[in-house]
Structure 1
Amino acid sequence: MDHFDWKQLFNPEFYILLEVGGIKIGLYVVLFIVFAETGLLAGFFLPGDSLLFLCGIYSELLMRDFSTGSDFVNVTLLAFMVAVMGIIGNMFGYWFGKKSGSYLYKREDSLFFKKKYLYQSKEFFDKYGSRAVVFARFLPIVRTFAPVIAGIVEMDRKKFMFYNILGSVLWSVTMIFAGHYLYELFKVQFNIDLKHYIEYIVIGIVLVTTVPVIMKFVRKRK
């Protein structure tokens, strides 16, 4: 990497291919990002869904140091690692919400914290109840604050953990397996290497996951 461009921070591929001293650390960076999206309130701007989809495409590279010799097992192991970090991140968010109580509603906006996202997540949680912990996994921004809201409203811990595990597993398996096997399908059947169209894939996933949230917000403003 010849020079750093801050715009790369919004490109999921940047994290996957990241090297330090010639050592590829993409897997560890990915796992941290998955944790940060829900475990740290600053994680709402990180590329969650598109990152996992690309992890499926680059699974062979990411699992190079943990390869089992089986493609399916490697992808499954990668999805398991991601799911575990998602579960831990949600647990941290839940704990923080339970301890902080109403503090977040009084906190001033900052670069890494926007109170409006907290209110939007609260509305989402009120609408879907416990299931919001699962649904939120597939929605940018909302997934960052949903476990915090669950902690603030003191959702039953066992019920939270059930939906936390369910949502994290569904999210990681769906996105990673989709990326991996769609990549294989296009390469074998159509001789198209999706790695050459990463930018379009990222834009497409961002639109699919964020447009519903934006439309809902616009309708509420009218």
Structure 2
Amino acid sequence: MTAVFTPLLLTLGPAAVLVVMLVVFAETGLLLGFVLPGDSLLFLSGALVTSHVVGVPIWLVMIGVVLAAAAGDQLGYLIGRRYGPAVFRRETSRFLRPEYVDRAHDFFERRGNAAVIIGRFIPIIRTFTPTVAGVARMPRGRFTAYNVVGAVLWGSGMVALGALFGGIPLVAQHVEVITIGFAGLSVVPLGIELLRMRRTRARAAQTPEPPESAEPAASSGPAESAEAA
């Protein structure tokens, strides 16, 4: 997917920042994170800026990405808060699969408020966490605070990572190959998280249920009482 955006970014020049911002916003705001290359696109953007292919200062790219990321998550949160669980009941949808939602919900339950920040760095989980937080009625002010922190760490961090390695001549000459590899690496956290969830569910399934309490012994009948007398 990154290969589709590479020639577009090279052609647009400074206007490419707007494309990057739109993709980052749509990833969580429009629940399209499973088809958009968020991590690899930010890495590519940083590499292109450092290589002077896109005539935009690095700080401007970072600000644009952070704003788009925060706005996208905020919209996802508002959608979840406004429509509740019904937003995930679209049986005709090809992308809002129950397993995706379950993963994000389990992650949010285990990580709590920090899931808003940590989820930023996990593909797919990143897409649904804001909406799940809205459905769970997480306080708006608290979500906004965690959302901004996550957007700054993820957005500026990924662009800076691309800029750092993009300044290396070998990297600058093989940007596409590196971004493809980086996209593959970005799936690793998701795989680890899925493995943990699977193990947790397996342990829960193997845990025996507590035995039912025995019924109290029947009271002695009239015959037994008479015999005792």
Within-5 A mapping of 1:110-125: 110-125=93-108
Superposed CA RMSD: 2.2
Structure 1 residues 153 and 19, CA gap change in structure 2 (3 angstroms): closer
- 1:15 and 2:5 equivalent? yes
Deviations 1:182-215 (Å, cap 9, x if unpaired)? 222x23xxxx2x1332343223322322123224
Give the Å deviation of 1:107. 2.1
Report if the CA contact (8 A) 2:113-2:146 is conserved. yes
Name the residue aligned to 2:173. 196
Report if the CA contact (8 A) 2:122-2:189 is conserved. no
Name the residue aligned to 1:126. 109
Give the Å deviation of 1:165. 0.5
Name the residue aligned to 2:186. 209
Using structure 2 for the length normalisation, give the TM-score: 0.77
Name the residue aligned to 2:24. 34
Deviates more, 1:198-207 or 1:131-140: 198-207
Give the Å deviation of 1:159. 0.8
Structure 1 residues 206 and 23, CA gap change in structure 2 (3 angstroms): closer
Give the Å deviation of 1:45. 1.8
What percentage of residue pairs aligned between the two structures are identical?
Answer: 35
Give the Å deviation of 1:172. 1.3
Could you tell me which of 94, 104, 108 is aligned with 2:91? 108
Could you tell me which of 10, 28, 46 is aligned with 1:56? 46
Taking the aligned partners of 2:123 and 2:35, their CA distance within structure 1 comes to 8
Partner secondary structure for residue 123 of structure 2: coil
Deviations 1:71-120 (Å, cap 9, x if unpaired)? xxx21121011000001001100000001101034221523322211110
Taking the aligned partners of 2:96 and 2:89, their CA distance within structure 1 comes to 12
Taking the aligned partners of 1:104 and 1:181, their CA distance within structure 2 comes to 40
Counterpart of 2:38 in structure 1: which amino acid?
G
Partner secondary structure for residue 120 of structure 2: helix
Name the residue aligned to 2:221. none
Name the residue aligned to 2:77. 94
Report if the CA contact (8 A) 1:16-1:55 is conserved. no
Report if the CA contact (8 A) 1:93-1:148 is conserved. yes
Deviations 1:28-49 (Å, cap 9, x if unpaired)? 2111000001100133221011
Taking the aligned partners of 2:177 and 2:53, their CA distance within structure 1 comes to 21
Report if the CA contact (8 A) 1:137-1:168 is conserved. yes
Give the Å deviation of 1:157. 0.9
Unaligned runs of 5+ in 1: 1-9, 68-73
Using structure 1 for the length normalisation, give the TM-score: 0.80
Taking the aligned partners of 1:16 and 1:207, their CA distance within structure 2 comes to 17
Name the residue aligned to 1:4. none
Counterpart of 2:7 in structure 1: which amino acid?
L
The aligned length equals: 196
Name the residue aligned to 1:178. 161
- 1:163 and 2:140 equivalent? no
